[in-house]
Structure 1
Amino acid sequence: MTFLSPERLWLLTLIPLLAAAYAAMQLRRRRHTVRFTNLALLSQVAPRRPGWRRHVAAALFLSMILLMVIGFARPATGVKVPRDRATVMVAIDVSLSMMARDVNPSRFEAAKAAAKKFIRDLPARFNVGVVGFAGSANLVAAPSTDRQAAIASIDQLVMAKRTAIGEAVFTSLQAVRSFDAQASQGDPPPAHIVLLSDGDNTTGRSVPEAVDAARASHIPVSTIAFGTPYGTVDIEGETTSVSVNKETLRMLAEGTEGKPYEAADADQLSDVYANIGSSLGWKIEHRDVSARFTGLALLFALAAGGASLVWFNRLP
């Protein structure tokens, strides 16, 4: 819980002062009784009253003041609410290693299928762009709310040699900046990059450079490590081992405050995309809950008044 007007909490200092004043009055009353009363006679003519009753109404009254001060400081609690504005860049590795069939039917086909589902499931006002990368990175669909255009661009991806993960991040960042400059009207939506790859950066700018650029732009990169250690591909008649490099992708994600995921098969990949979508689709807002404390304060006030009337025939 947080407070929207925390400066008002200084009023809490009044509570120990009131408690001290009450205690001082009780001591003064006791001294006065001892000084001016015949205790032997008083014990015979005065009815016995449980001493604790005198303090119940006071305790309830102080509790009421405490709750009123807390309510006056406008307590707020965090609530998950839908975030309907965001720009998501989906960067898909189209290098030849993605032809490996250790993910059914292949790394590439499984990635395309899950990416399409992810795009369809995003909130309608999210802007989605697509980047394809192998030896270089290309923007194949600029950020927009046109889901069909983004999905069609995925179907048009063509595989090529080498892998430029760093360039994919830079191209995605540039696409976000261009979109913000043209369409955001000075209020750019939050952005996120989702990068699918089997992990080796073999050309272009380095992954550490990409990390620095993404951090400078305050845009997290979530990565999905694609494949298993046992993937192979046939290139020009030769079988080549293409194991997944999880360490590179983890460094990219954690360095940009994104999340690293692993997807060994198409079903698991769909779950990963669902998790990313839910993290983008919500934000925490603080909502004023002072009415709760005001209501409790009212109950304590009624209890204090009721106890005082029943036991002492007067209000506190």
Structure 2
Amino acid sequence: MLENISFANPQFFWLLLLLSVAILWYYFKRKEESASLTISSIKGFSQDSLLPKLKPVLFFMRLIALAAIVVAMARPQTEEISTKTKTTKGIDIVMAIDVSSSMLARDLKPNRLAALKEVAGDFIKQRPNDRIGLVEYAVESYTKTPITSDKAIVLRALEDVTYGKLTDGTAIGMGLATSVNRLKDSKALSKVIILLTDGVNNSGFIEPKTAADLAVEFGIKTYTIGLGSNGTALSPVAYNSDGSFRYAMQKVEIDEQLLKDIAGATGGKYFRATDNKKLEAIYDEINKLEKTEIEEFKYYKYEEKFRPWVLLALGLLCVEWFVRNTLFRSFI
């Protein structure tokens, strides 16, 4: 009866303490309620009647009725909440991913590209109200997934990001320019590019500075991430006879100044990820920096449940009055 019930006036439950006082009073005064007669023997009286023994039931019926009235005064009610959300500031995000062979280096576990895909997947799942697209780049660049609100499509596309589909190399300007092209016609109030690379710009026919100027012109903020440990890393250097990569220690070269310039010019920020934890922390920080504004409206519907308690109290009081004035009349 009290399942999923809340009380509008729970302070009235303090009145239940008075019932304990009534119980104590009844315990000490119960013998005074009946007239007494002193006689030498009770052998001539029948002891079979149960009515005198049931008389305390009347007191407890009244007690339960008073307790029900207290519960009714506390106003038990059920609460139904309906929620409506409204996105007031949408964000369109393009993630530009370097897929050159150096992304297979093993200074991140199991390698840079696999670590990125895992962290980027978590980032996508945390942006339910934004549209996200993917761009891959090496010597060339192309749109892996246009900006979409369907996160399942984006996550499947991210899982399919692999090395070998593009000619090896690093064209940062091409990757940034393609990302700008995906966002330039967006009507979103905020447009963001997350550009990740582990090398230096060594190919492509669009200069990174030119691509950055385009991002500025279209009001697109760019966060840049340099991926790779400091010093050297176990990186692919050649192919074995079976087609697998041969690995050797290679110097990690990242054009950090270029990435800082791109981020600074567009109003973004540059990050350096030297291991898995730092890469995860970077995406967490970007997630906090780029917040989607959401209005949430809650509608409350209350249904009062005090009436059954009032009816219970009235019923008990009526029964108690009737029994007291009929069956127990001669004993009072």
Per the shorter chain, which TM-score range? 0.5 to 0.7
1:169 maps to which residue? 176
User: Are 2:105 and 1:113 equivalent residues in the alignment?
Assistant: no
Deviation at 1:231, TM superposition (A): 2.0
**CA displacement 1:182-224 (0-9 Å, x = unmatched):** xx4xxx3310000111131111111111111111111111011
Q: How does 1:72-151 map to 2 (within 5 A)?
A: 84-122=89-127, 124-151=128-155
CA contact (8 A) 2:117 2:158 kept: yes
In 2, Cα distance between equivalents of 1:217 and 1:150: 24
RMSD of aligned residue pairs (Cα, Å): 2.3
- Going from structure 1 to structure 2, the CA distance change for 1:148 and 1:222 (only over 3 Å counts) comes to same
For residues 213-267 of structure 1, the C-alpha deviation after alignment (integer angstroms, 9 at most, x for no partner) is: 1111111110111002312412324734343332221121112111001111112
Pairing 1:190-269 to 2, within 5 Å after superposition: 190-204=190-204, 205-229=206-230, 230-236=232-238, 237=246, 239=248, 240-269=250-279
Whichever residue aligns with residue 101 of structure 2, its letter is L
Residues in 1 aligned to 2:110 and 2:258: alpha-carbon distance in whole angstroms: 25
Secondary structure at 2:220 match in 1: coil
Report how far residue 92 of structure 1 moved: 0.8
Aligned AA (1:153): A
Residue 277 of structure 1 aligns to a residue whose secondary structure is helix
> Are positions 1:153 and 2:163 aligned together?
no
Task: Provide the rounded CA distance (Å) in 2 between the counterparts of 1:142 and 1:172.
Answer: 10
Letter of the 1:253 partner, please give it: A
Q: Is the contact made by 1:228 and 1:244 (CA closer than 8 Å) also made in structure 2?
A: no
Q: TM-score, normalised by structure 2?
A: 0.55
Structure 1 unaligned blocks of 5 or more: 1-81, 284-316
Paired residue type of 1:166: G
2:129 is paired with a residue whose SS is: coil
Q: 1:84 to 1:266 in 2, by over 3 A?
A: farther
CA distance in 2, matches of 1:150, 1:130: 7
Cα distance in 1 between the residues matched to 2:226 and 2:194: 11
Counterpart AA for 1:268: K
Higher Cα Rg, which structure: 2
Q: Does the aligned pair in 1 maintain the 2:89–2:189 contact within 8 Å? A: no
Change (3 A) 1:134 1:281: same
2:118 match: secondary structure: helix
Q: 2:323 corresponds to which residue?
A: none
Aligned residues: 197
State the 1:282 CA deviation: 5.0
- Is this contact kept in 2: 1:166–1:201, CA < 8 A? yes
Q: Which runs of 5+ in 2 are unaligned?
A: 1-86, 239-245, 294-332
Q: Compared with structure 1, are the counterparts of its residues 241 and 275 closer, same or farther at alpha carbon in structure 2 (3 Å cutoff)?
A: same
Residue 51 of structure 1: aligned partner: none
Contact 1:131-1:168 within 8 A present in 2 as well: yes
Q: Which amino acid aligns with 1:234?
A: P
- Name the CA shift for 1:85/1:208 in 2 (closer, same or farther; >3 Å): same
Distance 1:83 1:211 in 2: 28
Q: Does structure 1 retain, via aligned residues, the 8 Å contact 2:93–2:133?
A: yes
Higher mean C-alpha deviation, range 236-245 or range 221-230 = 236-245
Q: Which is helix-richer, 1 or 2?
A: 1
**For residue 134 of structure 2, what is the amino acid of its counterpart?**
V
Shift in alpha-carbon separation, 1:217–1:254, aligned structure 2, 3 A: same
Inter-CA distance 199–220: structure 2 relative to 1 (3 Å threshold) = farther
Q: Which residue of 1 aligns with 2:9?
A: none
- Scaled by the length of structure 1, the TM-score of the pair is 0.58
Residue aligned with 1:220, SS: strand
Q: How far 1:84 moved relative to its partner?
A: 4.3
Deviation (angstroms), 1:107: 1.1
Taking the aligned partners of 2:183 and 2:99, their CA distance within structure 1 comes to: 21
Q: Secondary structure at the match of 2:146?
A: strand
Secondary structure in structure 1 of the residue aligned to 2:154: helix
> Which stretches of structure 1, 4 residues or longer, exceed 4 Å deviation after superposition?
none
